[in-house]
């Protein structure tokens, strides 16, 4: 099988029927490591092509561009017999099929797992849904909705304010990562048996799993946790503080760090104070401790405190905006940005893949494709 750029997934063919975020994020991750991804789009394209502004240097929606690099675009109208025939051929020739339609939609077109596997028993077929294919099949899988009904908003936001969503469609991204994991597990199992299987991921259980300690405490205590703003339910001080000029975060995880913190702030006696001598006591007396720390922190600028606390090996950092976050990562040598070459000679900046392999790293081909870049006749590379 001919492929594009070399990578650990070179030779893996992906028929991508997904759109918006969770599915496209997953297939982009596969493309970064060499998979040949054909993105099947309706005549109007993935709806995120129209989610603008902002746009990139090519005038393309940055939302679409951020999760579709390295793919090829094929426009098919599944209501037309010839186009549907092409879609079915792609599915039965693919190693991986990814879709995130409402449950039942792919079956109407003869593109569901049961139909595909009759002709392609080695296919790994990944379905991404909002709430599964059972009782939640009719619910729309919007990230905001899942953040609400999945409990995330109940623990996010100011203590005395309204519940808040996270500032990005985080549940979609988490679900996309789960999809990648499931696909790779199924491909690994196929190496041994030659048989594919169905991979199912959904936004709801992806979120519940990602609630981690908040989920485990709820299950153990049979009581939902309260909203604590920027504080942590089990650690103190571990939250946002105001310095003289701007906020910073201090994340103390043990008694040594706490001793170094109060020493640096010029109030070493707090380490032996009966209210604060252990983490459990600090959590219990959180508000008293916070008031004492803020009284010191407002005496200096945040940059000054971060430098001093770093020297004392106390975890602390500024509250960066997104541009500052990229700049900070670059100062650490993390190389968070890649330049994707365009045929015109220009380049598009994109967020680098966060998975680093020593022998077969991610390799980036082209930016997200123009609509219908494959053309009328499509074939795998």
3-state SS, residue 258: helix
Q: How many CB atoms lie within 10 A of CB 345?
A: 6
β-strand pairing of 124-129 with 96-99: parallel
- Note whether 241 and 247 are within 8 A (CB): yes
Q: Which of helix, strand or coil describes residue 41?
A: strand
- Alpha-carbon span 88 to 119, nearest angstrom: 10
- Angstrom distance (rounded) from CA 125 to CA 101: 13
> Taken in order 358, 364, 365, 369, is the CA torsion positive or negative?
positive
37 and 31 Cβ atoms separated by less than 8 Å: yes
Question: Which 3 state secondary structure label does DSSP give 124?
Answer: strand
CA-nearest of 132, 138, 172, 134 to 24 is 172
300 by Cβ neighbours in 10 Å (0-12 / 13-18 / 19+) ranks as middle
**Positive or negative CA dihedral for 255, 240, 330, 170?**
positive
The 8-class DSSP code of residue 97 comes to E
> Does residue 143 carry a catalytic annotation?
no
Spot the catalytic one: 81, 172, 191, 370. 172
DSSP-derived letter for residue 276 is: T
Determine the Cα–Cα distance for residues 153 and 163; give it in Å rounded to an integer: 5
Residues 6+ apart with CB under 8 A from 226: 155, 159, 233
Angle, CA of 110, 80 and 27, to the nearest 5° = 60
List residues with catalytic annotation: 172
């Amino acid at each position: 099988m001919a492929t594009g750029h070399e990578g650990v997934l070179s030779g893996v063919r992906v028929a991508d029927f997904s759109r918006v975020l969770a599915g496209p994020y997953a297939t982009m991750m596969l493309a970064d490591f060499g998979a040949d991804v054909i993105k099947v789009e309706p005549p109007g394209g993935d709806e995120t092509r129209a989610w603008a502004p902002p746009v990139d240097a090519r005038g393309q929606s940055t939302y679409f561009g951020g999760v579709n690099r390295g793919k090829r675009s094929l426009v098919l109208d599944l209501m037309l017999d010839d186009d549907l025939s092409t879609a079915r051929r792609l599915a039965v020739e693919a190693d991986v099929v990814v879709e995130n339609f409402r449950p039942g939609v792919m079956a109407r077109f003869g593109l569901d797992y049961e139909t595909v596997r009759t002709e392609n028993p080695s296919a790994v077929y990944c379905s991404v849904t909002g709430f599964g294919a059972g009782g939640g099949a009719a619910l729309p899988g919007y990230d905001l909705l899942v953040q609400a009904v999945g409990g995330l908003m109940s623990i996010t936001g100011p203590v005395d304010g309204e519940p808040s969503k996270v500032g990005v469609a985080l549940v979609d991204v988490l679900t996309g990562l789960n999809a990648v994991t499931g696909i790779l597990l199924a491909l690994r199992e196929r190496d041994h048996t030659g048989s594919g299987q169905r991979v199912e991921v959904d936004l709801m259980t992806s979120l519940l799993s990602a609630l981690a300690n908040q989920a485990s405490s709820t299950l153990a205590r049979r009581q939902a946790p309260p909203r604590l703003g920027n504080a942590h339910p089990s650690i103190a001080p571990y939250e946002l503080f105001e310095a003289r000029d701007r906020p910073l975060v201090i994340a103390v995880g043990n008694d040594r760090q706490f001793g170094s913190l109060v020493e640096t702030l010029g109030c070493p006696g707090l380490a032996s104070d009966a209210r604060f001598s252990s983490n459990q006591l600090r959590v219990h007396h959180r508000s008293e401790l916070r008031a004492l720390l803020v009284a010191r922190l407002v005496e200096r600028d945040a940059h000054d405190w971060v430098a001093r606390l770093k020297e004392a090996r106390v975890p602390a950092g500024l509250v960066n905006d997104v541009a500052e976050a990229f700049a900070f990562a670059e100062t650490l040598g993390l190389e968070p940005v890649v330049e994707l070459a365009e045929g015109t000679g220009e380049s598009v900046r994109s967020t680098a893949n966060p998975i680093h392999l020593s022998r077969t790293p991610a390799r980036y081909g082209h930016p997200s494709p123009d609509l219908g870049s494959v053309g009328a006749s499509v074939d795998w590379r």
